[in-house]
């Protein structure tokens, strides 16, 4: 990690596909952010209608001197548009503009935009480069890093996709100043996850500095983003395609994805569902005898203090179980869960249906 007055820079090592994560203020408007991106005939900024009005002009003004052609593709906003139809909209615009396999895409937005753009880049002309420019906390600490891209299917979240690493990740903390508080809180769910699975000292820091984060203190946000990215990059470098240790990054997500699908995509933000999912997963860990009740209470308290939901209504326990059985991480219908073995340590395991049912039922209001 290199730290300077302007920004922090963390390197994700994948050999010839290695890339940097830049973290700091003013990065979108800084020409140095974009200067050494590989040459391309066309740079297309893929964003949504909300983010486009805030930041597309700044990104375009930085990109225009570097590329022969630039364009903006502004998509409808929301998880409900993370589908084939929206993906084809991106392809149509690229083809209409005459973009070729030497083009690059710039994913300017939150996790939905990043996943869609990354998947479009993986598919267009059999694969082109893209840059992640996450504008939400959740995307800066999680979805923009690691190369997971994809779209939703009516029967499950991110069921269709590809692993496609970005050329760079640009996490400009200035974009967090315009973020609705609900979105900021949702992003903190993924931050909490990293402490729970990999660094109990980070959990202690979060417990102490939560108010600073909620008030958008830049120093606190920058540290939380940097530490989250350090933890995630250390894991994905060892397991790019989720065949082993990378699975622990899904702590709370098996429950969370089922909650999202059961409520209807978009009713809860992804981070809200993950927050409640972590509570269920911690409860299951306790029932399996992996972790003490006091450690579960500590995590639940942090999730609750952050402003994330710790229970869900309007959805039945059996619905959640059925959706989890169809999760893409299930094996032969056997649900696989990330459970906590101790604070800061996680593993993947299965559990009896009755035990899972009890863990879910305890958090249905």
Q: Which active-site residues does the annotation give?
A: 126, 148, 190, 232, 242, 246, 250, 253, 257, 270
How many alpha carbons fall within 13 Å on the CB side of residue 112? 25
Pair 121, 129: CB distance under 8 Å: yes
Residues 6+ apart with CB under 8 A from 330: 324, 336
**How far is Cα 262 from Cα 272, in angstroms, rounded to an integer?**
14
Choose among 209, 195, 208: nearest CA to 344: 195
**How far is Cα 138 from Cα 302, in angstroms, rounded to an integer?**
17
Pair 117, 105: CB distance under 8 Å: yes
Pair 237, 13: CB distance under 8 Å: yes
**How far is Cα 299 from Cα 297, in angstroms, rounded to an integer?**
5
Biggest CA–CA distance in the chain, Å, is 61
**How far is Cα 126 from Cα 104, in angstroms, rounded to an integer?**
13
Beta strands in the chain (DSSP E): 2-3, 7-12, 19-24, 42-48, 69-75, 104-109, 129-134, 148-153, 156-163, 168-172, 337-342, 345-349
256: number of Cβ within 10 Å: 26
Pair 116, 91: CB distance under 8 Å: no
Choose among 62, 110, 117: nearest CA to 89: 117
For residue 83, what is the enclosing H or E element? Answer: none
Check residue 38 and report its DSSP letter.
Answer: P
Tokens of 316: 């039945």
């Amino acid at each position: 990690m290199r730290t300077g007055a302007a920004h922090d820079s963390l390197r994700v090592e994948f050999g010839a596909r290695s890339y940097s994560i830049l973290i700091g203020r003013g990065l979108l408007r800084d020409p140095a952010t974009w200067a050494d991106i590989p040459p391309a005939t066309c740079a297309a900024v893929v964003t949504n209608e909300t983010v486009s009005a805030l930041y597309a002009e700044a990104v375009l003004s930085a990109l225009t001197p570097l590329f022969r052609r630039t364009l903006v593709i502004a998509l409808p906003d929301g998880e409900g548009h993370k589908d084939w139809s929206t993906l084809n909209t991106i392809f149509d615009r690229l083809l209409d503009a005459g973009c070729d396999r030497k083009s690059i895409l710039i994913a300017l937005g939150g996790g939905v935009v990043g996943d869609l753009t990354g998947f479009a880049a993986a598919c267009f002309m059999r694969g082109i480069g893209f840059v992640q420019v996450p504008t939400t906390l959740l995307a800066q600490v999680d979805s923009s890093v690691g190369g997971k891209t994809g779209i939703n299917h009516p029967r499950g979240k991110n069921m269709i996709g590809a692993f496609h690493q970005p050329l760079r990740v640009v996490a400009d903390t200035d974009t967090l100043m315009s973020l609705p508080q609900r979105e900021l809180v949702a992003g903190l769910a993924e931050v909490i996850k990293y402490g729970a699975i990999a660094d109990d000292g980070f959990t202690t820091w979060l417990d102490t500095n939560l108010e600073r984060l909620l008030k958008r203190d830049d120093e606190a946000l920058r540290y939380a983003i940097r530490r989250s990215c350090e933890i995630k990059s250390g894991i994905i470098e060892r397991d790019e395609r989720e065949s082993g240790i990378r699975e622990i990054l899904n702590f709370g997500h098996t429950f969370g994805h089922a909650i999202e699908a059961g409520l209807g995509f978009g009713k809860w933000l992804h981070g809200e569902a993950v927050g409640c999912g972590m509570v269920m997963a911690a409860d299951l860990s306790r029932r399996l005898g992996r972790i003490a009740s006091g450690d579960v209470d500590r995590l639940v308290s942090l999730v609750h203090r952050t402003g994330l939901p710790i229970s869900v209504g309007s959805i039945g326990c059996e619905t959640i179980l059925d959706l989890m059985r169809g999760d893409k991480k299930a094996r032969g219908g056997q649900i696989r869960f990330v459970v906590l073995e101790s604070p800061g340590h996680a593993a993947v395991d299965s559990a009896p249906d009755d035990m899972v049912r009890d863990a879910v039922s305890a958090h249905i209001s």
